[in-house]
Every structure is written in C-alpha cells, then in structure tokens.
C-alpha cells in the first residue's frame, strides 16, 4: 500500500469512516488515527505500529464539551486544566464510558483524552461523528515523527494517507495528568510545563519513570530510541574519532566536532524551541554515518524536563 501525502480532509474522512488509518498532524507530533469507537479500526493501529496491546491510546476529541460523551466524571482539577490548556498539548486520564472499546484503553477503566490544536485536525474532527484514537505515527519504540516526511519514511506501505500539516509546533508529546488516590498526578512529562499546571491546580506529584507502574503503562524506560547509541548528559568524547560523533546541544557549539554533525537546538536558550527540534535532530543524526550521539542535559525547568525525559529514555 503506497502512502499518499496530501491535505484532502474529505478523503481522510472517507478513509476513517471505512475503518482505515490516516496519519494526522498535531501540534505535538504526528499521530496515526483511527475511529476510536470502532475496535476493529483501532486494532489496525497496533498492527501498523507493532505496538504492544498493554500500551493504551489517547483519544482525540473536538471540544471540551465533547469530553463528556466519553468520560463518566470530570473532577474539578481536570475541569480547571481543560479550561486553561485545551486545545493544547495536555492529555487528561479520566474514567471512561462504555462507548470507548477496551482495546483503546488496554482494558483500563480510564481513557486518555486530548484536544489537539492544529487547524487541519480541527477541521477533520468537526466533520466526523466519532473521536480519533491516535498514538504517534512511528514504529513502536522509535523516535516520534514531527513532519509528514518522517511518517512516510517509516510507515509507507502500511497506511494509505498522510495529512501534511507542516512541522509540528510543539514537537514533543502531550503532558499526561491522571488521578491517583483522588489526587491529580503528572504521569508523563510533555508539551505543557508542570510549572504551568501547578499554577492552576497547585503543586502535584510527577510520577513518570516506572515501566511497571500500572497507572502509566506506556512509560517504558527504553523508548524514543535512535538506532545509534545515545549518551545522555556526559559530553566526554574520548575513545571516538570526531567523525564518529553526533551532538545534541542546547546552545553551545563543540569546537572539534564537524558542524554538520551538531544540532544546536536553541542558541537563544529557548526551551520551547529546543523541544520543537529535539526529535528531528535525533532522527537526522540517526540517519548519518556516525557511531554515537552525545546529548547534553538540558535545564530541568519548563519544557526542559520533558526534553531530558525523552533523552534519558533514548539513552536507556
Ligand atoms: P502516545 O504514545 O502519545 O500515544 O500516548 C499514549 C500514552 O498515554 C500511553 O503510553 C500511556 O502512558 C498514556 N495513557 C493513555 N491512556 C491511558 C490510561 N487510560 N491510563 C494511563 N495512561 C494512559
Ligand atoms: Mg509514541
């Protein structure tokens, strides 16, 4: 199956109604979408991605009001976060209604819900009478795609259509907030900074690192991984020839390393800009004839936390 790249929203709608997969641009990363209310369509996502069934999918809906169609109850903290950050890079994990099939949630009684902020997807969701289940449009475990070409490079042959919405503006997956013992907990770091969340609902716990954590099944230690070895936080190049080294840095240029092997994510020290570029930098370096990637530890504030989380997993 040859994948087409285009911007035909009506064609995408037809494919989705027919139970097919469509890759969609969002502000975070590109998603691989299917009708979230149809178990058979959703099953195709797991096949195309080679994704294990224990890893639940996020359901993308058109509006805050629409969330009520799919969840039993919206606690106060979630209502506040929805009012502030939706649409945007935030996913809320809430108790699901029966209309959401078990395959979407890996059998959990909760569902992750998000409202993407991208004009083309907004247009698509407005034309559909079902929400879209969509994980990142890449083979399971590899680097998330932030352009239509990234999706094509890896999923051509497995999906019919990719909507081209340009380069993702946030560039990193959504922040996920769920509930533990009736209190909000950040389950995955992402495109909404914890500090911004805390301003709205007060300080809450960040609990993201355990692969055996039953409430955060998808947070595997080894994820977002390039094929080249990636060393995180230690810029010690001894033992390697300069031609074998790729660099991901925040602001700094490394004098002895060839310039084309260095990705300086934000010379002006803007963590948003760095987050937007991190996955495509990893991907570009992974395509080069080098042996190893060295990535700096970014400042542990704002989106720097999510960048460090992804680099740590990529290095595991
Ligand atoms: P993504 O890989 O961006 O599609 O995000 C999917 C991730 O969202 C999963 O790996 C889980 O960490 C999280 N998630 C989705 N649904 C749930 C849920 N019902 N309970 C807990 N985490 C969830
Ligand atoms: Mg993913």
Please choose from 50, 56, 109 the residue to mutate so as to test ligand 1's pocket, defined by most ligand atoms within 8 A of CB.
56
Partners of 112 in the β-ladder: 58, 93
CA-nearest residue, atom 9 of ligand 1: 218
Instruction: For residues 169-198, give the mean pLDDT.
Output: 97
Length of the chain counted residue by residue = 316
Neighbouring C-beta atoms of residue 259, cutoff 10 Å: 9
196 lines ligand 1 (CB under 6 A): no
Instruction: Answer yes or no: is pLDDT of 215 > 80.
Output: no
133 lines ligand 1 (CB under 6 A): no
Of 143, 164, 137, nearest in space to 60 by CA: 137
Omega before 87 cis (within 30°)? yes
Between CA 51 and CA 45 the distance in angstroms is: 8
Return the pLDDT at 49.
Answer: 95
245-249 β-sheet, strand order: 229-232, 292-295, 245-249, 262-264
Instruction: Tell me the CA–centroid distance for residue 120 and ligand 2, in Å.
Output: 21
pLDDT tens by residue, 9-47: 999 999 999 999 999 999 999 999 999 999 999 999 999
pLDDT tens by residue, 227-277: 999 999 999 999 999 999 999 999 999 999 999 999 999 999 999 999 999
Between CA 304 and CA 296 the distance in angstroms is: 11
Return the pLDDT at 211.
Answer: 47
Return the pLDDT at 224.
Answer: 83
Instruction: Tell me the CA–centroid distance for residue 91 and ligand 1, in Å.
Output: 9
Between CA 163 and CA 6 the distance in angstroms is: 5
pLDDT tens by residue, 282-308: 999 999 999 999 999 999 999 999 999
Instruction: Answer yes or no: is pLDDT of 88 > 90.
Output: yes
Return the pLDDT at 1.
Answer: 84
Decide: 303 and 274 in contact? Cβ < 8 Å. Answer: yes
In order of their start, the domains of the chain are: 4-206 (3.90.870.10), 229-314 (3.40.50.11030)
Q: What are phi and psi of 77, to 5 degrees?
A: -60, -40
pTM: 0.96
Residue 159 DSSP label: B
Of 217, 81, 227, 32, nearest in space to 143 by CA: 227
User: What b/e sequence results for 26-59 when a residue is b if at least 16 CB atoms lie within 10 Å of its CB, and e otherwise?
Assistant: bbbbbbbbbbbbbeebbebbbebbebeeebbbbb
- Taken in order 145, 147, 150, 151, the sign of the CA dihedral is positive
């Amino acid at each position: 199956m040859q994948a087409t790249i285009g911007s035909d929203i009506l064609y995408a709608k037809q494919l989705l109604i027919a139970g097919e997969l469509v890759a969609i641009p969002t502000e975070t990363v590109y998603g691989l979408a299917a009708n979230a209310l149809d178990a058979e369509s959703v099953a195709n996502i797991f096949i195309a991605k080679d994704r294990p069934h224990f890893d639940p999918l996020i359901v993308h809906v058109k509006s805050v009001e629409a969330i009520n169609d799919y969840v039993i109850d919206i606690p106060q903290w979630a209502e506040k976060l929805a009012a502030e950050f939706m649409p945007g890079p935030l996913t809320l994990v809430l108790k699901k209604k029966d209309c959401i099939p078990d395959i979407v949630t890996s059998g959990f009684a909760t569902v992750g819900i998000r409202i993407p902020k991208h004009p083309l997807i907004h247009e698509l969701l407005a034309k559909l009478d079902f929400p879209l289940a969509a994980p990142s449009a890449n083979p399971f475990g590899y680097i998330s795609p932030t352009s239509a070409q990234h999706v094509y490079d890896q999923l051509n042959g497995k999906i019919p259509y990719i909507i081209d919405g340009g380069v993702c503006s946030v560039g990193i997956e959504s922040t996920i907030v769920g509930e533990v013992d009736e209190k909000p907990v950040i389950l995955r770091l992402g495109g909404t900074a914890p500090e911004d969340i805390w301003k709205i609902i007060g300080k809450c716990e960040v609990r993201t690192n355990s692969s055996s954590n039953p409430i955060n099944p998808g947070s595997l230690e080894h994820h977002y991984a390039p094929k080249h070895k990636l060393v995180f936080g230690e810029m010690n190049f001894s033992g390697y020839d300069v031609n074998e080294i790729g660099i991901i840095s925040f602001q700094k240029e490394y004098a002895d390393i060839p310039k084309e092997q260095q990705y300086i994510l934000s010379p002006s020290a803007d963590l948003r800009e760095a987050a937007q570029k991190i996955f495509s930098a990893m991907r570009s370096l992974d395509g080069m004839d080098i042996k190893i990637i060295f990535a700096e530890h970014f400042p542990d504030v704002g989106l720097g936390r999510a960048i460090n989380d992804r680099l740590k997993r990529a290095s595991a």
